[in-house]
Structure 1
Amino acid sequence: MAELVYPPVIGAARTMFKALDLRFDIKGTEHIPQRGGAVLVSNHIGYLDFVFCGLAARPAKRLVRFMAKESVFRHKVSGPLMRAMKHIPVDRAAGLDAYKHALASLRAGEIIGVFPEATISQSFTLKNFKSGAARLAQEAGVPLLPMALWGTQRLWTKGHKRDFGRNHIPVTIRVGEPLTADPAEPAETVTERLRGRVQELLEAAQRAYPVRPRDAGDTWWVPAHLGGTAPVAARAEGCR
């Protein structure tokens, strides 16, 4: 079936990136398979993360179907777009339907995007992962694609105003080699292995990031352990 909505939305996103003069540093896109199912897994630090994860899949000419909270699909603007792009609504009180939907999509050769932290990390450090991504990959017989984003929190994140000015904000994206999700391995073990790989990619993205807090004149977007003033993980959890 022809994709009537997703390509124009990608075009609009590219126009927005150009208007904002974002400075992209993307490495590892060769790890995105050009065909077949996969579960793309990323950290979650901003409201636009799904856009940037999808951008990393474009060199492989792939469209990512993201699992997102059901309330986004009820919005009068985002809802019709999300459904037309074949993203998957997740009702956290009854997630089985979303799981079955994602599983069917993987078996049909789609890439499914998952944020296993389930919500934005306000400390900008990696939270614990839920095991759903690993279980999907195991049951569908597809690889896990680890990814890390950095800098996206400076554009728009929880508890801070949007910054859609032409401020040349850098965005760093790292995609890792696919991980095999062996069905014989406990899902929790696969999940910890996956989380460890995303953590490695996140640290690599942070090291490569060209701006430090003193250069930007602020420190709110940098984790405390890197010298910033973002809330530490336990306190950030309490703010949810």
Structure 2
Amino acid sequence: MFYWFLKWIAIGPLLRVVFRPVVEGAEHVPDEGPAILASNHLSYADWLFMPLTLPRRVTFVAKAEYFTSPGIKGWFQKKFFSGAGQVPIDRAGASAAEGALSAAKRILDEGELFGIYPEGTRSHDGKLYRGKTGVARLALETGVPVIPVAVLGTDVVAPPGKKFGTFTRPGVRFGRPLDFSRYEGMENDRYILRSITDEIMYEIMRLSGQEYVDMYAGRAKDESKRLEKEAKAAAAERDGADQHKKAS
């Protein structure tokens, strides 16, 4: 009940009036029954705008710290994320992937919509990165359809590394449901899991228009930070050399 208050009475109307998100293909999301919504991930605001365009609740997993912080702030934070369709998961542990999968299965067994970001983390540069195969395994083990989703413009509203950006009208595009029942019983075949995941990512790429990079987003972020650090070190070395020449 708190979710509906949050969405329709508080945050929902405000976001709709201010940002007027554009939605395409919402008819591909079933009015009832379980489905996996597999989306690209440009911004921390994605989980706000994508569910806002649907009349049904969409549940995601979120890090457990959002639900366990102490004090009044922690209490409000827990209520906010619980009401907004988030369930806690310890993402730091070795069993994080299994915990997320179990939570997703429970939600889908209840006939609900489950939202997932196959890239695993936000894109740091607006490109679409290689999907992790958890989404494929979930689809095969539950037998529910996967609906590819593209969010657009959320990285302008809330860019990576910043709380706020500039104004734009975010967009959400829902693709046709993908049925993988032809692979039933093959959830332990890593080649099948990769093939399914790549098919999902291709549909997301087609909907979003993003440039695709065949590398995991986490690795790409680390590589970008490494190159940035090396560039700063090289710049500092050049500045030091210039200062030494001037002093000579």
Q: Name structure 2 gaps, 5 residues minimum.
A: 187-191, 214-218, 227-248
| Percent identical residues | 31
Q: Deviations over 1:56-106 (max 9, x none)?
A: 322xxx111112223333341322322345522232322223321210221
Match of residue 187, structure 1, among 171, 188, 193: 193
Match of residue 40, structure 2, among 39, 43, 52: 43
Tell me how many residue pairs correspond in the alignment. Answer: 204
Q: Which structure has the highest helix share of the two?
A: 2
> Do the aligned partners of residues 237 and 122 (structure 1) sit closer, same or farther apart at CA in structure 2, a change above 3 Å counting?
farther
Aligned to 2:13: 15
Q: By how many angstroms is 1:25 displaced?
A: 2.0
Match of residue 121, structure 1, among 103, 108, 123: 123
Query: Would the aligned equivalents of 2:57 and 2:85 in 1 still touch at CA under 8 Å?
Result: no
Superposed, 1:48-87 pairs within 5 Å as: 48-58=45-55, 62-75=56-69, 76=74, 77-87=76-86
CA distance in 1, matches of 2:107, 2:21: 30
CA distance in 1, matches of 2:208, 2:105: 27
Secondary structure class of the residue paired with 1:146: strand
- With the length of structure 1 as denominator, give the TM-score of the two structures: 0.76
Secondary structure class of the residue paired with 1:135: helix
Q: By how many angstroms is 1:45 displaced?
A: 0.7
CA distance in 1, matches of 2:126, 2:60: 21
> Do the aligned partners of residues 154 and 131 (structure 1) sit closer, same or farther apart at CA in structure 2, a change above 3 Å counting?
same
Aligned to 2:172: 173
Query: Would the aligned equivalents of 1:88 and 1:102 in 2 still touch at CA under 8 Å?
Result: no
Q: Deviations over 1:94-136 (max 9, x none)?
A: 2223321210221220111111111110111111111112211
CA distance in 2, matches of 1:144, 1:171: 22
Q: By how many angstroms is 1:14 displaced?
A: 2.4
Aligned to 2:245: none
Q: Deviations over 1:172-200 (max 9, x none)?
A: 11100000123355222110100000000
Q: By how many angstroms is 1:18 displaced?
A: 4.4
Aligned to 1:109: 111
> Do the aligned partners of residues 129 and 140 (structure 1) sit closer, same or farther apart at CA in structure 2, a change above 3 Å counting?
same
Query: Would the aligned equivalents of 2:153 and 2:170 in 1 still touch at CA under 8 Å?
Result: yes
Amino acid at match of 1:157: P
Secondary structure class of the residue paired with 2:150: strand
Larger Rg: 2
Q: Determine if the alignment matches structure 1 residue 199 to structure 2 residue 185.
A: no
Secondary structure class of the residue paired with 2:65: helix
Query: Would the aligned equivalents of 2:58 and 2:85 in 1 still touch at CA under 8 Å?
Result: no
CA distance in 2, matches of 1:131, 1:234: 18
Q: By how many angstroms is 1:235 displaced?
A: 6.0
Aligned to 1:89: 88
Aligned to 2:235: none
Aligned to 1:239: 225
CA distance in 2, matches of 1:239, 1:63: 36
CA distance in 1, matches of 2:85, 2:172: 24
Please, what is the CA RMSD of the aligned residues? Answer: 2.4
CA distance in 2, matches of 1:89, 1:237: 29
Q: By how many angstroms is 1:236 displaced?
A: 6.9
Query: Would the aligned equivalents of 1:88 and 1:98 in 2 still touch at CA under 8 Å?
Result: no
- With the length of structure 2 as denominator, give the TM-score of the two structures: 0.74
Aligned to 2:146: 144
Query: Would the aligned equivalents of 1:122 and 1:236 in 2 still touch at CA under 8 Å?
Result: no
Q: Name structure 1 gaps, 5 residues minimum.
A: 207-222, 226-232
Match of residue 28, structure 1, among 13, 25, 30: 25
Amino acid at match of 1:69: K
